[in-house]
């Protein structure tokens, strides 16, 4: 399974949650900057994805997984990403265009980087995780 | 008073609750619909369902957090409650996380559904910012009573007249097409005393009622009466506090001889506060 398989449905849900037409949604668009997503929209979006794909998306999952292998101090310093943290985040959010990352960016602004593709990756990962758990 | 659950008949904290709202002559939120009997505003029925969900979640979370604001996938309006009716409120919690509650609910009168909420979500925030948790605990104890009580035990005394759902000023109005209107929250509105004591903010239910009524005027401008039968994708993402001026924009997406759709968006200082869609029919309570 890859993100192409889930993208049509993810795009439909994102368009519905953010009150846009489906054809206005770009796969690498920023949900916050381009589609005005706010915190309540992310709650709504995660819930709709969980319902549609019958998965559970752990809260704070992106930040936790992005920092895997780094201590809290190595990842961020006074609420801002360290150089190491930034590189780790870039690797994890590889679908996000490079120019949207800024040095020393605030950890609280990580959601501004999320794109529809970010959520496709999460859905695929969780679907594969649940398939794996079912086969174990 | 902005409490609409008069009694809780059954209560399984964090999962499900059955409650009752009596519609009584002194109720602030009853309205006259032309020649018909006075009915409780539909959005208040929705508010009652949400409040019942809030009680069961607050109890499950030991009154540490409460749901506020809302996202509602769909509100289906299929009937009305008139004075003397006892509305049975049935709210089911689909899931609760540390961040939010997800639920669906239905209100009925004498076994007939009058309003349903589907796919509703309420973010959970620290209760201390909004209410005195001990006061809420005491209130919950008072209203949790098995066995349906008579509506006469719940008179609304001293409510200062009917609620006016109209906007303060209509800035533009193109019949059948679009309208822009403004509502200013002064801080003197009686509902703010309960919503919420420590942080007075405009309830989504009252804003939605105002929007549905303005939409009705917009659609009815050609002479045919349209009645709201559903609202979809309703989302309130920010608080509207006293002193601010809320601007509502309504745009008709489609209107034909039987039904109509419109979209609304409310802003404060250019920032999105509430968005959604509404469906109307020329026959009350009838879906396409």
**B71·A38 Cβ contact <8 A:** no
The model's confidence at residue B75, banded by pLDDT at 50, 70 and 90, is very high
The model's confidence at residue B158, banded by pLDDT at 50, 70 and 90, is very low
Nearest by CB to residue B71, choosing from A36, A40, A59, is: A40
| Pair A51, A36: CB distance under 8 Å | no
- Encode pLDDT of A5-37 as tens digits: 999 999 999 998 988 889 999 999 999 999 989
Tokens 């409490």, residue located: B3
- Encode pLDDT of B185-207 as tens digits: 999 999 999 999 999 999 999 99
**A38·B272 Cβ contact <8 A:** yes
Closest by Cα among B211, B127, B123 to B170: B211
**B102·A47 Cβ contact <8 A:** yes
Euclidean distance between CA atoms A111 and A47, whole angstroms: 16
Q: How many angstroms separate the CA of residue B214 from the nearest CA in chain A?
A: 21
Euclidean distance between CA atoms B72 and B51, whole angstroms: 14
Would you please indicate which residues of B are annotated as catalytic (active-site) residues? 195
- Encode pLDDT of B80-134 as tens digits: 999 999 999 999 999 998 889 999 999 999 999 999 999 999 999 999 999 999 9
Q: How many angstroms separate the CA of residue B43 from the nearest CA in chain A?
A: 21
Sign for the pseudo-dihedral over CA of B33, B37, B38, B44: negative
Quote the crossing angle between the two packed helices A3-18 and A39-53, to the nearest 10°: 130
Residues of chain A whose C-beta is under 8 A from some C-beta in B?
Answer: 16-17, 19, 36, 38-41, 43-44, 47, 59
ipTM: 0.74
Which DSSP state fits B230?
A: E
Q: Compare B221 and B247 and report the one with higher pLDDT.
A: B247
- Encode pLDDT of B226-263 as tens digits: 999 999 999 998 999 999 999 999 999 999 999 999 99
DSSP-assigned beta bridge partners for residue B254: B261
Share of chain B above pLDDT 90, in %: 78
Task: For chain B, give the longest Cα–Cα distance.
Answer: 53
| Pair A129, A46: CB distance under 8 Å | no
Mean of the per-residue pLDDT values of chain B:
91
Nearest by CB to residue B233, choosing from A16, A36, A47, is: A16
pLDDT at B154 over 60: no
**A59·B97 Cβ contact <8 A:** yes
| Cβ neighbours of B100 in A, within 8 Å | 43, 47
| Pair B61, B18: CB distance under 8 Å | no
**B71·A43 Cβ contact <8 A:** yes
Chain A interface, mutation test: which of B101, B102, B278, most A Cβ atoms within 10 Å? B102
pTM of the entire structure?
A: 0.88
- pLDDT, residue B33, reads 64
CA-to-CA separations, B215 to B20, B210, B248, B261, in angstroms, rounded:
30, 9, 11, 9
- Encode pLDDT of A73-85 as tens digits: 999 999 999 999 9
């Amino acid at each position: 399974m890859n993100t192409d398989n889930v993208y049509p449905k993810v795009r439909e849900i994102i368009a519905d949650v953010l009150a846009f037409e489906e054809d206005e949604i770009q796969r690498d668009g920023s949900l916050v900057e381009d589609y005005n997503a706010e915190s309540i929209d992310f709650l709504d979006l995660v819930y709709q994805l969980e319902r549609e794909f019958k998965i559970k998306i752990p809260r704070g999952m992106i930040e936790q997984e992005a920092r895997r292998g780094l201590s809290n101090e190595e990842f961020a310093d006074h609420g801002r990403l360290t150089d190491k943290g930034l590189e780790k985040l870039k690797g994890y959010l590889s679908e996000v265009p490079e120019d949207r990352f800024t040095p020393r960016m605030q950890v609280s602004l990580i959601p501004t980087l999320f794109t529809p593709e970010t959520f496709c990756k999460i859905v695929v990962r969780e679907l594969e995780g649940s398939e794996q758990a079912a086969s174990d | 008073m902005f409490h609409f659950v008069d009694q809780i008949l059954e209560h399984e904290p964090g999962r499900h609750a059955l409650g009752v709202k009596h519609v009584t002559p002194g109720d602030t939120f009853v309205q006259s619909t032309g020649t018909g009997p006075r009915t409780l505003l539909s959005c208040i029925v929705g508010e009652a369902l949400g409040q019942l969900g809030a009680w069961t979640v607050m109890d499950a979370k030991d009154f540490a957090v409460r749901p506020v604001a809302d996202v509602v996938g769909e509100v289906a309006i299929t009937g009305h409650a008139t004075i003397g009716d006892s509305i049975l409120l049935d709210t089911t919690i689909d899931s609760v996380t540390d961040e939010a509650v997800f639920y669906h609910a239905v209100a009925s009168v004498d076994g007939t559904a009058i309003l349903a909420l589907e796919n509703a979500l309420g973010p959970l925030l620290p209760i201390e910012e909004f209410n005195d948790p001990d006061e809420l605990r005491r209130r919950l104890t008072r209203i949790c009573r098995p066995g349906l009580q008579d509506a006469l035990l719940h008179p609304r005394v001293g409510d200062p007249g009917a609620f006016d759902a109209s906007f303060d000023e209509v800035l533009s109005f193109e019949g059948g097409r679009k309208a822009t209107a403004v509502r200013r929250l002064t801080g003197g509105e009686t509902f703010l005393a309960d919503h919420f004591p420590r942080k007075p903010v405009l309830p989504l239910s009252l804003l939605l009622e105002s929007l549905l009524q303005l939409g009705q005027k917009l659609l009815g401008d050609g002479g045919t009466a349209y009645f709201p039968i559903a609202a979809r994708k309703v989302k309130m993402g920010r608080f509207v506090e006293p002193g601010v001026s809320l601007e509502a924009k309504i745009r008709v997406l489609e209107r034909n001889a039987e039904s109509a759709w419109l979209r609304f968006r409310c802003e404060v200082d250019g920032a999105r506060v509430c968005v959604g869609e509404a469906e109307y029919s020329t026959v009350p309570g009838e879906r396409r």
